Amino acid sequence: MSHTLTLRIPLGSHEFAGIAARVLAVDRELKQSQVQRTVESDGDELAVTFTAASVKMLRTSVSSFLEFAGLVAQTLAEFGSVDAE
């Protein structure tokens, strides 16, 4: 699997990056033999590395991941800084 890509997504705080990394790491890529992904937090940023067998698989996975990450970022933005109280 020779095609790789690393994304770094700033989320504004250590806490938010940590939450995003944990929730996005849960679902694995559907086609494990074709593409793999690791998700970690690094400071304020989400660090995601994709390794894929083809450019097409890489593009599909990255595209899909960005949509999911966007949703998590939006959830954090809308609910994250308000106390549960």
What's the token pair of residue 19? 């939450």
Task: In angstroms, give the least distance from the CB of 2 to other proteins.
Answer: 26
**What is the contact surface with other proteins in residues (CB under 8 A)?**
19-20, 22-24, 26-28, 30, 64, 67-68, 70-72, 74-76, 78-80, 84-85
Give, in order, the Cα–Cα distances in Å from 80 to each of 11, 27, 83: 11, 22, 8
Shortest distance, position 31 Cβ to other proteins, whole Å = 12
Rounded to an integer, what distance in angstroms lies between the CA atom of residue 67 and that of residue 82? 24
Kindly state the smallest distance separating residue 23's Cβ from other proteins, in Å.
4
Which residues face 39 on adjacent strands?
48
Strand ranges inside the chain, DSSP E: 3-10, 35-42, 45-52
* Nearest residue (CB) to other proteins, 2 versus 67: 67
Nearer to other proteins by Cβ, of 8 and 22: the residue is 22
